[in-house]
Amino acid sequence: MKKRVIVSWSSGKDSTLSICRLLESEQYEVVGLYTTYVNGEVPFQATPLEIVKAQAHSIGLPLVLIELDEVFPPNEIYQSAVIDGIRQSGLDIEAVAFGDMFCNGIEAYRRSYIEPQGWECVFPLLGESSQLLAKEIIQRGIVTRLTTVDTTQLSGDFLGRWFDASLLSDLPEGCDPCGEDGEFHTLVTSAPCFRYSLEVKVSGVDRNGRFHHLRYQQYGVSV
């Protein structure tokens, strides 16, 4: 019997690659997604909830939305919100999956509040080469673009660029190919696990402050 797993969904490439791998797994059955949000959008990506809902609909999985009061709430508040949100969703799960790549203590942190609930913690990408994962994202046909850039680590000129071989070759030395040091975040509009692509129109760029974000006018679907 496959274990029923819910995936932490950020709207970006890492969680998408995690889903693609889990759907191919003989160990797990993906039964849902969950997303934490603040003020109607996903933190860091700044993805509006309507686009997140459209992604989940395209994947064909139920989406659990968990509201937070702030981007960085105290750990106990964040953990309780995630646990309560999953439990109250009505989904029967046995595991929770995360798209983390780096072995930097995040695995132990996730396990510290997930495993006491009787759920397994699953990390489909953890510890693998960022360079190889970046190439896999492209080779699998995951279509994604840089929707947020931390300008203390990467030029704001990279904002809005598609995540492709050209981008990887242009990233400066020291920049992680998957942005795992927080250099950038992404929004996926098409992937093998999507039943149809999303067409997202950018209305402008928010360049106020350290983090630069794309802003969206509207979106549709492309069959």
Identify the domain boundary among 90, 122, 154: 122
pLDDT higher than threshold 90 for residue 123:
yes
On whether both 115 and 151 belong to a single domain, the answer is no
Domain CATH code at residue 173: 3.90.1490.10
Per-residue pLDDT tens digits for 62-85: 999 999 999 999 999 999 999 999
What contacts 200, CB < 8 A, 6 or more positions away?
51, 187, 189, 216, 219
Per-residue pLDDT tens digits for 129-151: 999 999 999 999 999 999 999 99
On whether both 31 and 114 belong to a single domain, the answer is yes
Quote the tokens at residue 9: 């969904």
On whether both 35 and 116 belong to a single domain, the answer is yes
Q: Could you tell me the pTM of the whole model?
A: 0.95
Asked if 79 and 52 count as a contact pair (C-beta separation under 8 A), the reply is: no
